[in-house]
Structure 1
């Protein structure tokens, strides 16, 4: 993510700008790592690539370090600069989005661990088509949520929120399909349960991407749209 956040160019205090730029640069760097983690975790699962699974787990250390560094940057800004209005919203939103990014990394790590468990169970591909489809959806959601945050683009944020509704629907359908597989062939219960855990991680990743997109709306509009319906959110954003 190389797009500069438009919020970071208007402050009278150059020191404030520098501190916010530092936090934003780390945030976007972490976002890029998280995108790659999810991509690699899914490839490790679908392509039976254990080396990629190990890379995902190794990257977790770097992600956790960046999360701590971003938190420290934002804490310093709050302590030294006492931001108000949209500046304060930016700091609060980035702090929350930072947590969501780290949790996406945790879910990618879970998928990588499961892929290692499944590496010797390749007798069939139950659930892999569903996992590939939902995995592609959430990878796009992560990218678009980060892009929306970089550009402070509420329309892009709304696009992510709509995609999350579709992802939840796909997840529910895939879960029903896999439950049917287990009923039909009890020998596959252990393996299918592992794939169900992968789907659950993907659904959570979609939720975290949605949370990041919601923070964009909070920064730009000052609206807390958590727990609101899609229709309510669109009306609030467009009527404001």
Structure 2
């Protein structure tokens, strides 16, 4: 069940402070939605060999960058004006960290779009698209769940996102091994297969960033840093 009891943000005497925190959360989720779409479109552009869509993604990346700067600036203003403590400080600091991860997911989507444009001109690679679709869906789901965990302050959902990261790593390694075997058997397609391998690497990195966001959600809700800890320790923190 979602940890709704932990949603204690927005109960200040100052109505304006409540609104500032709510707006910060809203802007973060708005940026998250845009980045989710960038990622989904990048994978679609590659699989559909759609150079036009890939070009649109690269152009939209400027909006993601601008939103990161705006959220960072607003977070800094909240700290300067309100001097938040305890849970409020955890919220603002976590948003600053998580917005950086969102921006990097946007960068990975732009990178995928770049390879999609190249392959649309050079011709599709003979292998790897099934793996791209599968891992793309997997990490896209992780990112969505991480953002949902933030919106609902749901540490249990955040923990599930963390657990998915290992599965993505295993799927990535299996996909790379398959492509390497194919390239050794048919050297004519090395260049295009290498592009697909770089796309798979970008998707694996998206999973890492989703995991980072999930870790920060647990920090917000529980007040304990679960980065660089074992999964057993993270489970202990969430179960408290």
Judge same fold: TM > 0.5, yes or no. yes
Matches within 5 A, 1:14-93: 14-93=15-94
Q: Which residue of 1 aligns with 2:207?
A: 206
Q: Which residue of 1 aligns with 2:173?
A: 172
Q: Which residue of 2 aligns with 1:106?
A: 107
Deviation at 1:124, TM superposition (A): 4.7
Structure 2 segments unaligned to the other structure (5+ residues): none
Structure 1 segments unaligned to the other structure (5+ residues): none
User: Residue by residue, what CA displacement relative to the aligned partner does 1:64-122 show, whole Å, maximum 9, x if unpaired?
Assistant: 11101100110001111110101110011111000000000000000000001111344
SS at structure 2 position matched to 1:11: coil
Q: Give me the whole-angstrom Cα distance separating, in 1, the residues matched to 2:15 and 2:215.
A: 28
- Residues 123 and 53 of structure 1: CA distance in aligned 2, closer, same or farther (over 3 Å): closer
Whether contact under 8 Å (2:49, 2:120) holds in the other structure is yes
Deviating more after overlay: 145-154 vs 22-31: 22-31
Deviation at 1:154, TM superposition (A): 0.6
Q: Give me the whole-angstrom Cα distance separating, in 2, the residues matched to 1:228 and 1:200.
A: 24
Whether contact under 8 Å (1:22, 1:73) holds in the other structure is no
Q: Which residue of 2 aligns with 1:153?
A: 154
Q: Hey, which bits of structure 1, 4+ residues long, moved more than 2 A?
A: 4-9, 120-125
Q: Which residue of 2 aligns with 1:119?
A: 120
Q: Give me the whole-angstrom Cα distance separating, in 2, the residues matched to 1:124 and 1:168.
A: 22
Deviation at 1:7, TM superposition (A): 4.2
Across the two proteins, how many residue pairs are aligned to each other? 236
Q: Which residue of 1 aligns with 2:139?
A: 138
Note the aligned Cα RMSD (angstroms): 1.5
User: Residue by residue, what CA displacement relative to the aligned partner does 1:156-181 show, whole Å, maximum 9, x if unpaired?
Assistant: 10111111111011011111111111
SS at structure 2 position matched to 1:119: helix
Q: Give me the whole-angstrom Cα distance separating, in 1, the residues matched to 2:10 and 2:193.
A: 50
